Amino acid sequence: MTMPHRYMFLAVFTLLALTSVASGATEACLPAGQRKSGMNINFYQYSLKDSSTYSNAAYMAYGYASKTKLGSVGGQTDISIDYNIPCVSSSGTFPCPQEDSYGNWGCKGMGACSNSQGIAYWSTDLFGFYTTPTNVTLEMTGYFLPPQTGSYTFKFATVDDSAILSVGGATAFNCCAQQQPPITSTNFTIDGIKPWGGSLPPNIEGTVYMYAGYYYPMKVVYSNAVSWGTLPISVTLPDGTTVSDDFEGYVYSFDDDLSQSNCTVPDPSNYAVSTTTTTTEPWTGTFTSTSTEMTTVTGTNGLPTDETIIVIRTPTTATTAMTTTQPWNDTFTSTSTEMTTVTGTNGLPTDETIIVIRTPTTATTAITTTEPWNSTFTSTSTELTTVTGTNGLPTDETIIVIRTPTTATTAMTTLSHGTTLLPLHPLK
């Protein structure tokens, strides 16, 4: 933290930032109770501007618990800390990030701050608990559940003022005893202290080898003496994945069960076995799929066993359908189905269903109609037209029209002398 000049008389302590690699086996646990997501956090009193206590390893390991306990919260997965003190300016009161502070207490974008950096401020900025983030010690405890077997590197990107991280049973806390008073081990995985009035320490880290499926006790203790507070926490998994700030899915809590005799696993390497199983499954896809699944099963020794399952999914005889339309000379539409086997894109036999729809080309129909007319003879004519057939396609239609005369005509001849001649009849 950046302090005003009136505090520079306080002692400057040397940075104790150790990068460590845990040697030997790390003790793991197998708690049998109901697990709960997140870590438990206990808050303890810390005297404002106390620039020495937080640099004591014994205090950071267990001594903090002798101070007044202020309260606790549970279920915390976002475990990083980034607290900014307020700046009271002419435009209002706003949190001021440490990197924005300047000179004899001003804040970029807000100007001079009329309040003091060196007093206690109350807020709920630390995990929703109402306390003084400016001067407090907090203890986070939980079980880290590694999804892979291998080396895990925990890191503090920076620390303001002091923090330690411990991983493993008998180091962080004893198995199945998360809520018990802290143990006295100072074998920290990470030990980081920011010098009073000095610059922030970069990239403090420690590495632990862990076995998938086991629960590893994990404890973080953090102290802030005055003003700003900072602790970004991350872990890099064996496969290179980095988890920062939010540890959801990785940290859990269990109620204490001091009577569980098999809770502690001193050396998981003596019990954990890795096996690989390959299985082939049929599926309806048109290609071969290979996937790898990681799981933890109970081995023949009754303990968790890492199991790698390689699943090869091969297509069964695939089926495709094709529809083709063909013209033909009949007067109706015909649909038929043909089955054949072809070589699919995967090089395997594929059942192919071909649906053939045969539709007529331009059909021809003939209609005969009889019409009366006033002439004396019968007339026959032919007309051609195109209509829409019952199949929805154009159809040539021939219309034969027969026109027949209506009332017949009789002819009579009258002589000039008044003699009337009868109609002539054809000879029989």
Residue 159, domain CATH: 2.60.120.1560
For strand 204-210 and strand 20-21, is the pairing parallel, antiparallel, or unpaired?
parallel
Asked if 195 and 128 sit in the same domain, the reply is: yes
pLDDT of residue 17: 36
Structure tokens at 422: 């009868």
- What stretches of 47-149 adopt beta strand conformation (E)? 69-76, 81-83, 86-89, 92-95, 101-102, 106-107, 111-112, 123-126, 129-131, 136-144
Same structural domain, 181 and 302 = no
Which residues lie across from 367 on neighbouring strands?
399
Tell me, yes or no, whether 268 lies in a domain. Answer: no
Please tell me the distance from the alpha carbon of residue 63 to that of residue 47, in angstroms, as a whole number: 14
Q: Is the same domain home to 14 and 126?
A: yes
Residue 298: the pLDDT is: 67
- Examine the domain organization and report whether 33 and 71 are in the same domain: yes
| Amino acid of residue 377 | F
Query: In this structure, is residue 22 part of a structural domain?
Result: yes
Last residue of a domain, one of 360, 392, 413: 360
Structural domain for 178, as ranges: 5-85+121-253
Which residues lie closer than 8 Å to 135 by C-beta, 6 or more apart?
A: 46, 47, 48, 49, 50, 120, 224, 225, 226
* Beta carbons within 10 angstroms of residue 98's beta carbon: 18
HSE-CB of 153 using CA atoms within 13 angstroms: 13
Mark whether 58 and 205 lie in a shared domain: yes
* Domain contains 289: yes
Question: Does 415 fall in a domain?
Answer: no
Residue 223 pairs in a beta bridge with 137, 162
Rg of the Cα atoms in the chain: 47
- Look at residues 155, 142, 191 and name the one whose alpha carbon lies nearest to residue 36: 142
Q: Which residues pair with 363 in a beta bridge?
A: 395
46 and 142 part of one domain: yes
Query: CA-CA distance, 122 to 167, in Å (whole number)?
Result: 31
34, part of any domain: yes
Pairing of strands 28-29, 36-37: unpaired
Residue 410 lies in a domain: no
Considering the domain architecture, whether residues 200 and 279 belong to the same structural domain is answered as no
224 and 163 in a common domain: yes
Q: What is the dihedral of CA 252, 256, 258, 261, to 10 degrees?
A: -30
Largest CA distance in the chain: 169
Q: Which residues of the chain have pLDDT under 50?
A: 1-23, 300-301, 408-428
Q: What are phi and psi of 96, to 5 degrees?
A: -115, 110
* Residue with tokens 């009073």, as numbered in its chain: 196
Is 73 among the domain residues? Answer: yes
The distance in angstroms from the start CA to the end CA of the chain is: 144
Number of domains observed in the structure of the chain: 4
What integer pLDDT is reported at residue 274 of this predicted model? 59
Residue pair 234/243 in contact by the 8 Å Cβ criterion = yes
- 146 in Cβ contact with 216 (< 8 Å): yes
Verify that 308 and 333 share a domain, yes or no: no
What pLDDT is attached to residue 69? 98
Name the token pair of 402. 């027969």
- Residue 179 within a domain: yes
Residues 161 and 77 in one domain: yes
- Same domain flag for 328 and 385: no
Q: Are residues 337 and 307 in the same domain?
A: no
Partner residues linked to 341 by β-bridges: 351
Q: Which two tokens stand for residue 138?
A: 């907090």
pLDDT at position 303 is 57
